[in-house]
Chains A and B, each alone.
Chain A
Amino acid sequence: GAVVSQHPSWVICKSGTSVKIECRSLDFQATTMFWYRQFPKQSLMLMATSNEGSKATYEQGVEKDKFLINHASLTLSTLTVTSAHPEDSSFYICSARGVKRGGYNEQFFGPGTRLTVL
């Protein structure tokens, strides 16, 4: 079954509004959580990395004031797209790293959130 959940699975919003996406690790504690975005027919691009209780580390070119990340606990991280614009429309995927099976540190991915900004 799924080990990482995301909510919502899709969202449509008006330009200028803010959208929050939740990511939860199920049945394991995530030492680190990651947020990716994926444009059509492109690979995943890492946006930011976050550890519980500390500030997220953003990749070059990603605006930290626009994409707010809160890693409140070992099982929950949120991404808030502030003042969304049509160019922010994308598929956002979260990922959680932790030990779930076989004793290995592994990265698990959520099902993704399709954001459409009108």
Chain B
Amino acid sequence: KQEVTQIPAALSVPEGENLVLNCSFTDSAIYNLQWFRQDPGKGLTSLLLIQSSQREQTSGRLNASLDKSSGRSTLYIAASQPGDSATYLCAPYSGAGSYQLTFGKGTKLSVIP
């Protein structure tokens, strides 16, 4: 059974700082991995999707890396802004009969103006 751990659970940074969110998963047999953000009381917004054959993906100020063999992914946010404040969720997609995402508990990010 896939288990996902996200560290830290919460993070508070001043505006403009670069930061890294960490995700580790126990079963490396994944097809891909998605990073999402969730605003309070809202659904999930997909940020980045990394295929298992890829090492990283970039979208604007976001860069996600994947080290499948070691079961780790990181989300790098450059020049953080108050609008980045949200909970960030990492979710590896395990196929082979278990066609579902497994979620970590997330990292709650607060960017202080």
Using a CB–CB cutoff of 8 Å, the interface residues on chain A facing chain B are 6, 32, 34, 42-44, 46, 49, 91, 93, 95, 97, 102, 104-112, 114
Given A34-B100, A106-B46, A111-B43, 7 more pairs with CB closer than 8 A: A6-B43, A102-B49, A106-B34, A107-B101, A109-B43, A110-B43, A112-B41
The reply to whether B43 and A104 contact each other, CB–CB distance below 8 Å, is no
By Cβ-Cβ distance, the 7 closest A-B pairs, closest first, are A109-B44, A111-B43, A112-B43, A43-B105, A43-B103, A109-B43, A44-B103
Shortest Cβ gap from A96 to chain B (Å):
12
The reply to whether A104 and B99 contact each other, CB–CB distance below 8 Å, is no
Shortest Cβ gap from A9 to chain B (Å):
10
Shortest Cβ gap from B7 to chain A (Å):
14
Number of A-B contacts (CB under 8 A): 50
Q: Does B30 contact A (CB under 8 A)?
A: no
Which range contains the number of B residues in contact with the other chain?
20 to 34
Q: Does B63 contact A (CB under 8 A)?
A: no
B residues 81-113 near A (Cβ < 8 Å) are: 89, 91, 93, 99-101, 103-106
A sample of 19 inter-chain contacts (CB < 8 A) reads A43-B106, A44-B103, A49-B100, A91-B41, A93-B43, A95-B44, A95-B101, A102-B49, A104-B32, A105-B31, A106-B32, A106-B34, A106-B49, A107-B93, A108-B46, A109-B36, A109-B44, A109-B46, A114-B41
The reply to whether B43 and A49 contact each other, CB–CB distance below 8 Å, is no
Mostly helix, strand, loop or mixed at chain B's interface? Answer: strand
Q: Does B61 contact A (CB under 8 A)?
A: no
| Residue of B44, B45, B91 with most chain A CB atoms under a 10 A cut-off | B44
The reply to whether B49 and A104 contact each other, CB–CB distance below 8 Å, is yes
